[in-house]
Copies of this chain bind each other. A is one copy, B any other.
Amino acid sequence: MTYCLGMHVKAGIVLIGDTRTNAGIDNISTFRKLHKLVDEADRVVFCASAGSLSTTQSMLALLEEGLESHDGEERRTVAHMPSMFRAVSLVCEALIQARINVARALAGTPINFDASLLVGGRIGNGPLALYLVYSEGNFIECLPDCPFAQIGELKYGKPILDRTLDWETPLYEAVKVGLLSFDSTMRSNLSVGMPLDLVVIPEDRQRPIVQRRLDENDPYYRKLSSDWGRLMQEARDKIDDPEFMGAS
């Protein structure tokens, strides 16, 4: 399994992906799931994937070499797309093609070849945009009413997002909330694991894009996790005792 989270707040976009993959429970590996599709002067697009590694790697290879052009022109890549809408549409086209290829190989087996994606970034003078791509190859955009999208093992880490993230949340607070969402997930489910890959794209074009890998020895992450455990205990203690329990 996998957990990937995308947040689009007023101040920017944050993408976080874990790196654990498993085929059965006794074959566990580390694979990057947060990928740079393009990072050039006029555009930056990242993609996080959950599901079949075979399908997502095939999709990335198709995007890398470019999809065939319908009019015999140059092969189409994200680097050529005029907008985020066109970029995510191209990604979906590659995903559908990869699914067809993998499905052909897996025909007659019970192996699942679905993959879902988060695609976020900015092209030219266009606005930042974050999309959730379903395994079927259609997509929705993440909008201010619900400023996050999740793929993979998403339930453990959803309550903290529902409680503490909104459109106005500052970017560094969104990073904290995102890491806490992963911390909650990784404590409750072994199929999501460190290291985590993180990318932050500020709305302010003057600020640098942050790319970082956090492993289990990362001092910031370790402190965040242990502080959160203590703060949860303290918060629990501050809740009134239930009067219907009688004297405590």
Report, as a range, how many residues of chain A touch the other chain. Answer: 35 or more
| A241 with B176: CB separation less than 8 A | yes
A171: nearest chain-B partner, CB-CB: B245
| A220 with B232: CB separation less than 8 A | no
Complex copy number for this chain = 2
Our pick among B188, B200, B210 for the contact of A159 (Cβ within 8 Å) is: B188
Taking CB atoms, residues of chain B closer than 8 Å to A172 are 241-242, 245, 248
Q: Is the interface of A mostly helix, strand, loop or mixed?
A: helix
> Contact string, A142-158, partner B, CB cutoff 8 A, digits 1/0?
00000000000001111
Give Cα A157–Cα B188 distance, bound, in whole angstroms.
10
Give Cα A200–Cα B242 distance, bound, in whole angstroms.
12
> Contact string, A167-207, partner B, CB cutoff 8 A, digits 1/0?
00011110111011000110111000000000010000001
Given contacts A155-B188, A173-B236, 7 further A-B contacts (CB under 8 A): A157-B159, A162-B187, A180-B236, A208-B246, A210-B245, A227-B239, A235-B235
Q: Can you offer 28 A-B residue contacts whose CB atoms are under 8 A?
A: A155-B188, A155-B189, A158-B188, A159-B160, A159-B184, A159-B188, A163-B228, A164-B232, A172-B248, A173-B236, A175-B245, A176-B241, A180-B236, A207-B246, A208-B246, A210-B244, A210-B245, A212-B244, A220-B240, A220-B242, A223-B240, A224-B239, A227-B238, A227-B239, A228-B235, A231-B239, A234-B235, A235-B235
